[in-house]
Amino acid sequence: MLGTADLVGTRGAVGVIAWIGPVGHGDSLPGGSVTGVPEAPFRHDPTYRPIIGVARGVFGGLGIRFDIVGEENIPLEGGALLSMNHTSFLDFALGGMPAHLRGKRLVRYMAKDAVFSHWLGGPLMRGMRHIPVDREHGSQSFRDAVTYLK
């Protein structure tokens, strides 16, 4: 298991689990995914790719530079489970950077299901094929995500 906290230097108390799928460059979910969005390769991903571009533009425009160490530990192909500490609203962007640098792999985050019902967040989360987690049945959501890794 890779710890993205170690890769990007964030520290905190709440854990976040993310996964990179086993297909190609980890850029798609298996058919019939929990998000209900069909799989698409990165180059054709209509939601995730533009969001990465915007985030990179914002970070670059603000002159923010990152020192990322250890991205070589992320496999180029196959599934990978990443865990990181969640300390801010930017963690998703920071946690995905090493995977993007390592073969433009897309990270699919597990997030509380309430985010998926938000008018703006919901369509974005579903479009990026993140995994909703029912906090009362979190263990099952984790098992589902691990199944996608195989």
Sheet harboring 80-86: ordered strands across?
2-3, 80-86, 14-20, 108-112, 131-133
Closest by CA position to 83, among listed 16, 32, 136: 16
Distance CA 82, CA 140 (A): 18
**pLDDT of res. 20:** 63
Q: In the chain, what's the furthest Cα-to-Cα distance?
A: 41
**pLDDT of res. 5:** 33
Nearby residues of 15 by Cβ (< 8 Å), 6 or more positions away: 83, 84, 85, 86
Closest by CA position to 150, among listed 9, 19, 17, 44: 19
Closest by CA position to 132, among listed 34, 44, 65: 34
**Which burial class, exposed, middle or buried, applies to 89 when counting CB atoms under 10 A from its CB (0-12, 13-18, 19+)?**
exposed
**pLDDT of res. 60:** 93
**pLDDT of res. 119:** 95
**pLDDT of res. 4:** 35
CA 117 to the chain's CA centroid: 18
Reported as type and span, the H/E element at residue 110 is strand 108-112
Predicted structure pTM score: 0.70
**pLDDT of res. 116:** 92
Give, for all 150 residues of the chain, the pLDDT tens digit: 333 333 333 333 234 556 565 533 333 444 444 444 444 455 567 888 899 999 999 999 999 988 888 889 888 888 888 888 888 888 888 888 888 888 888 888 888 889 999 999 999 999 988 888 888 888 888 887 777 676
Distance CA 138, CA 56 (A): 32
